[in-house]
Amino acid sequence: MAGPRPAISEIPHPALAAWLTARGEPAFRAGQILAGAHRPTSASFDDLSDLPMSLRGALADAFEFSTIADTHVISGDRGLTAKAVHELADGQRIESVLMRYPARGRSSERTTICISSQAGCAVNCPFCATGQAGFGRQLTPGEIVDQVLHWHRPPWSALGDGSTGHYNIVFMGMGEPLNNADRVFAAVRLLNDPERLGIGARHITVSTSGVVPGMDRMIDELPQVNLAISLHATTDALRDELVPINRKWPVREVVAAGRRFAARTGRRVSLEYVMIDGVNDTDEQALGLAAHALGWLSHVNLIPLNPTPGSRWSGTPAAGIARFGALLRDRGIGVTVRDTRGRDIDAACGQLHAQLAGRSLRELRAVEVPA
Ligand code: SAH
Ligand code: SF4
């Protein structure tokens, strides 16, 4: 739980205004407080220097500035990737990752931040470190937003003032976001809020292992948020093994939900496909994938498996990925081969967390702030 005090990152404006009024403070200070709490220079309520000192103290007594109790950060990819393990008030640990993509040619610098939606995950995909660790609990909207705020605030202050729109948020950390849909949707609305970080829905992506009712809710409730489907196999026999939630919602239903999303929202859906050597990278799977992806607004992302410690599987070699990709392209499917960021710092889903289990973050902390 987030603790008895509400998080400033999830308190609704009217509730904050009511709290102020009850203290005899003007309600307009609610906007000032929210602006201050989301400034990249604010590390605590003390830094809200446009507020009277007594009010800063009262805020600290009444609200959590962050639901994250402690964080350990390590950098990799020569400073382009940074991965955080966050410890929450009850000792649960979650992960978020910051990835920078330097400006190249005509494209300007981009940053993507990958966040968790649950502590652990119950879906239990055998190639995923989070799945192997099992389910802890649901995250609150504040705990989801506070992962973004961690990178926004000192000492990182890596995301600018939030008005630039030059960064993206992906729900690709720990957890299955659509198994925590109410809180994830609430977090998305908080991230969108112009009084807070003001991140446009088009800069946010929800990745799902195939929770069909959740995808249908996205069509109605978050039609501007991007949808990525972790397909990873094109036959039920193989997908039952790789993405066990397939036993509930089989491939055909998952792809049909993707098609509905694309048709109703006009937005392109990503089909994520982790390439596992000798397992799901056969020509037969490529042709199956082409058949599922053809004829609607879809795009395939091929991702080499980042093997978890002790894994019986390895990633498909580059030549195999190229061959698989060519089979898709020959059939008119849009394909991107994604790089796996953070291999050198175990940034695949849940891995760093697994490595640090049982060690205190305070003891480990040696925060490297990128230059
Ligand atoms: N639960 C959601 C979102 C979190 S996982 C989902 O499964 O979509 C985000 C992505 O990371 C998924 O596409 C997942 O399949 C992928 N992933 C998990 N473990 C991985 C690994 N070891 N190597 C490469 N990708 C991995
Ligand atoms: Fe859960 Fe996604 Fe990992 Fe599967 S890949 S166990 S759905 S976090």
Q: Residue 80's domain spans which residues?
A: 68-365
Q: Which of 10, 64, 95, 272 is catalytic?
A: 95
Distance 349 CA to ligand 1 centre (A): 6
Are 35 and 78 in a shared domain? no
Residues 32 and 116 in one domain: no
Residues 47 and 156 reside in one and the same domain: no
Indicate whether residue 207 lines ligand 2 (CB < 6 A).
no
Here the tokens at position 101 are: 């993509």
CA of 298 to the centre of ligand 1 (A): 18
- Residue whose CA lies nearest to ligand 2 atom number 4: 125
- All residues at 6 or more sequence positions from 2 whose CB lies less than 8 Å from its CB, including other chains: 64, 67, 88, 89, 140, 142, 143
* Ligand 2 pocket residue status of 255, Cβ below 6 Å: no
From first to last of its 371 residues, what are the pLDDT tens digits of the chain? 445 799 999 999 999 999 999 999 999 999 999 999 999 999 999 999 999 999 999 999 999 999 999 999 988 777 788 999 999 999 999 999 998 887 777 677 788 899 999 999 999 999 998 988 899 999 999 999 999 999 999 888 777 654 444 689 999 999 999 999 999 999 999 999 999 999 999 999 999 999 999 999 999 999 999 999 999 999 999 999 999 999 999 999 999 999 999 999 999 999 999 999 999 999 999 999 999 999 999 999 999 998 888 889 999 999 999 999 999 999 999 999 987 666 555 555 455 555 555 566 555 544 444 43
pLDDT at 207: 96
Residues with CB under 6 A from ligand 1: 121, 127-128, 171-172, 176, 207-209, 230, 272, 274, 303, 305-306, 308, 348-349
Residue 14 belongs to domain with CATH number: 1.10.150.530
pTM value?
0.93
Predicted local distance difference test score (pLDDT) of residue 370 = 40
Residues in the chain: 371
With a 6 Å cutoff on the Cβ, whether 128 touches ligand 2 is: yes
- Contact indicator for 272, 205 with CB cutoff of 8 Å: no
CA of 320 to the centre of ligand 1 (A): 20
- Structurally, the chain folds into a number of domains equal to 2
Residue 74 domain flag:
yes
CATH code of residue 75: 3.20.20.70
Q: Does some domain include residue 307?
A: yes
Specify whether the CB–CB gap between 305 and 276 falls below 8 A.
yes
End-of-domain residue from the set 46, 62, 78: 62
- 349 belongs to a structural domain: yes
Amino acid code (one letter) for 136: G
**Hey, how many other C-beta atoms are within 10 angstroms of the C-beta on 251?**
21
Using an 8 Å Cβ cutoff, are 233 and 242 in contact? yes
47 and 82 in a common domain: no
Q: Is 349 one of the annotated active-site residues of the chain?
A: yes
CA atoms within 13 A on the CB side of 75: 12
Question: Which amino acid is present at 355?
Answer: Q
149 in the same domain as 183: yes
228, 305, 306: which is closest to 261 by C-alpha? Answer: 228
Query: Do 115 and 82 belong to one domain?
Result: yes
Q: Which of 16, 43, 62 is the last residue of a domain?
A: 62
Are 102 and 242 in the same domain?
A: yes
Examine the domain organization and report whether 48 and 105 are in the same domain: no
Question: In the prediction, which pLDDT does 323 show?
Answer: 97
Residues 96, 16 within the same domain: no
Q: What pLDDT is attached to residue 29?
A: 98
